[in-house]
Amino acid sequence: QIIYLFGGRGGQPLQEYRCGVYVELDVRKAAVGAPVYIGHAAIRLTDGTLVMLAPPNSAEALRTQEERDNFRGKEVVAEGVLHQTWSSDGATLMNPCFSPLLLVVTPELYELLSGQAPRTQTGARSS
Protein backbone atom coordinates (compact mmCIF):
# COMPACT_ATOMS: atom_id res chain seq x y z
CA GLN A 1 0.00 0.00 0.00
CA ILE A 2 1.13 3.53 -0.78
CA ILE A 3 0.53 6.69 1.20
CA TYR A 4 -1.09 9.40 -0.92
CA LEU A 5 -0.29 12.85 0.41
CA PHE A 6 -2.30 14.69 -2.21
CA GLY A 7 -3.89 13.86 -5.51
CA GLY A 8 -4.40 15.73 -8.74
CA ARG A 9 -7.47 15.89 -10.91
CA GLY A 10 -7.79 14.36 -14.33
CA GLY A 11 -5.14 11.69 -13.87
CA GLN A 12 -2.44 14.04 -12.63
CA PRO A 13 0.49 12.35 -10.85
CA LEU A 14 0.34 11.99 -7.10
CA GLN A 15 2.91 12.72 -4.45
CA GLU A 16 3.89 9.40 -2.93
CA TYR A 17 6.84 7.44 -1.68
CA ARG A 18 8.73 4.31 -2.66
CA CYS A 19 11.06 2.12 -0.58
CA GLY A 20 13.96 0.40 -2.25
CA VAL A 21 17.70 0.02 -2.57
CA TYR A 22 19.64 3.08 -3.76
CA VAL A 23 21.59 2.29 -6.93
CA GLU A 24 23.73 4.36 -9.27
CA LEU A 25 22.94 4.19 -12.98
CA ASP A 26 24.93 4.28 -16.19
CA VAL A 27 22.54 6.19 -18.45
CA ARG A 28 24.58 6.06 -21.65
CA LYS A 29 22.49 4.91 -24.64
CA ALA A 30 25.06 2.45 -25.94
CA ALA A 31 26.92 1.52 -22.78
CA VAL A 32 29.95 -0.61 -23.61
CA GLY A 33 32.50 -1.88 -21.13
CA ALA A 34 32.56 -0.97 -17.45
CA PRO A 35 29.69 1.17 -16.16
CA VAL A 36 30.24 4.93 -16.06
CA TYR A 37 28.55 6.64 -13.15
CA ILE A 38 28.29 10.42 -13.32
CA GLY A 39 25.60 11.01 -10.72
CA HIS A 40 22.35 9.41 -11.91
CA ALA A 41 20.57 7.23 -9.36
CA ALA A 42 17.40 5.25 -8.80
CA ILE A 43 15.82 3.02 -6.23
CA ARG A 44 15.37 -0.66 -7.03
CA LEU A 45 12.04 -1.97 -5.71
CA THR A 46 11.67 -5.53 -4.41
CA ASP A 47 10.27 -6.66 -7.79
CA GLY A 48 13.29 -5.23 -9.63
CA THR A 49 11.56 -2.10 -10.93
CA LEU A 50 13.92 0.87 -11.16
CA VAL A 51 12.40 4.21 -10.16
CA MET A 52 14.62 7.09 -11.30
CA LEU A 53 15.15 9.83 -8.74
CA ALA A 54 14.75 12.44 -11.50
CA PRO A 55 14.45 12.59 -15.30
CA PRO A 56 17.96 11.84 -16.61
CA ASN A 57 18.18 15.02 -18.71
CA SER A 58 17.45 17.31 -15.73
CA ALA A 59 19.94 19.01 -13.43
CA GLU A 60 18.22 17.31 -10.49
CA ALA A 61 19.24 13.92 -11.95
CA LEU A 62 22.89 14.48 -11.00
CA ARG A 63 22.88 13.48 -7.35
CA THR A 64 25.59 14.79 -5.04
CA GLN A 65 28.64 12.66 -4.32
CA GLU A 66 27.76 12.87 -0.61
CA GLU A 67 24.26 11.46 -1.23
CA ARG A 68 25.59 8.67 -3.43
CA ASP A 69 28.27 7.72 -0.90
CA ASN A 70 25.78 7.77 2.00
CA PHE A 71 23.04 5.71 0.34
CA ARG A 72 24.70 3.45 -2.29
CA GLY A 73 23.41 -0.11 -1.79
CA LYS A 74 21.28 0.84 1.22
CA GLU A 75 17.54 0.75 1.80
CA VAL A 76 16.04 4.23 1.37
CA VAL A 77 12.70 5.97 1.09
CA ALA A 78 12.24 8.42 -1.79
CA GLU A 79 9.26 10.75 -1.85
CA GLY A 80 7.98 13.06 -4.54
CA VAL A 81 5.63 13.28 -7.48
CA LEU A 82 5.85 9.91 -9.22
CA HIS A 83 5.40 9.70 -13.01
CA GLN A 84 4.96 6.33 -14.74
CA THR A 85 6.87 7.60 -17.80
CA TRP A 86 8.55 10.89 -18.64
CA SER A 87 8.85 12.86 -21.89
CA SER A 88 10.97 15.96 -22.33
CA ASP A 89 12.73 17.57 -25.28
CA GLY A 90 11.72 14.74 -27.59
CA ALA A 91 13.14 12.03 -25.31
CA THR A 92 10.92 9.51 -23.53
CA LEU A 93 11.97 7.68 -20.40
CA MET A 94 10.14 4.38 -20.01
CA ASN A 95 11.10 3.93 -16.36
CA PRO A 96 9.01 5.59 -13.70
CA CYS A 97 10.64 8.64 -12.16
CA PHE A 98 10.13 11.29 -9.54
CA SER A 99 9.77 14.91 -10.62
CA PRO A 100 10.06 16.75 -8.44
CA LEU A 101 11.84 14.58 -5.88
CA LEU A 102 11.25 15.94 -2.39
CA LEU A 103 13.48 13.75 -0.26
CA VAL A 104 15.67 10.66 -0.04
CA VAL A 105 16.18 9.40 3.51
CA THR A 106 16.69 6.24 5.52
CA PRO A 107 13.52 4.38 6.53
CA GLU A 108 14.23 5.29 10.16
CA LEU A 109 14.37 9.01 9.42
CA TYR A 110 11.24 8.76 7.25
CA GLU A 111 9.38 7.20 10.18
CA LEU A 112 10.62 9.94 12.50
CA LEU A 113 9.57 12.69 10.05
CA SER A 114 6.20 11.24 9.03
CA GLY A 115 5.18 9.47 12.20
CA GLN A 116 4.64 6.16 10.40
CA ALA A 117 6.84 3.35 9.15
CA PRO A 118 7.20 3.15 5.37
CA ARG A 119 5.79 0.04 3.72
CA THR A 120 7.53 -1.84 0.94
CA GLN A 121 5.82 -1.66 -2.45
CA THR A 122 6.24 -3.72 -5.58
CA GLY A 123 6.06 -1.94 -8.89
CA ALA A 124 5.68 1.74 -9.53
CA ARG A 125 1.92 1.78 -10.05
CA SER A 126 -0.26 3.31 -7.40
CA SER A 127 -2.31 0.89 -5.35
What's the pLDDT score for residue 82? 86
Q: How many CB atoms lie within 10 A of CB 20?
A: 22
Weakly modelled stretches of the chain, pLDDT under 70: 1-13, 87-93, 120-127
Q: Classify residue 78 as exposed, middle or buried by CB count within 10 Å of its CB (0-12, 13-18, 19+).
A: buried
Q: Classify residue 8 as exposed, middle or buried by CB count within 10 Å of its CB (0-12, 13-18, 19+).
A: exposed
What's the pLDDT score for residue 74? 96
What's the pLDDT score for residue 17? 85
What's the pLDDT score for residue 124? 57
What's the pLDDT score for residue 41? 95
What's the pLDDT score for residue 2? 36
| 106-to-72, 75, 113, 122 alpha-carbon distances in Å | 12, 7, 11, 18
Amino acid identity of 95?
Answer: N
Interatomic CA distance for residues 106 and 115, integer angstroms: 14
Pairing of strands 86-88, 15-24: unpaired
Give the global pTM.
0.80
What's the pLDDT score for residue 33? 87
What's the pLDDT score for residue 1? 30
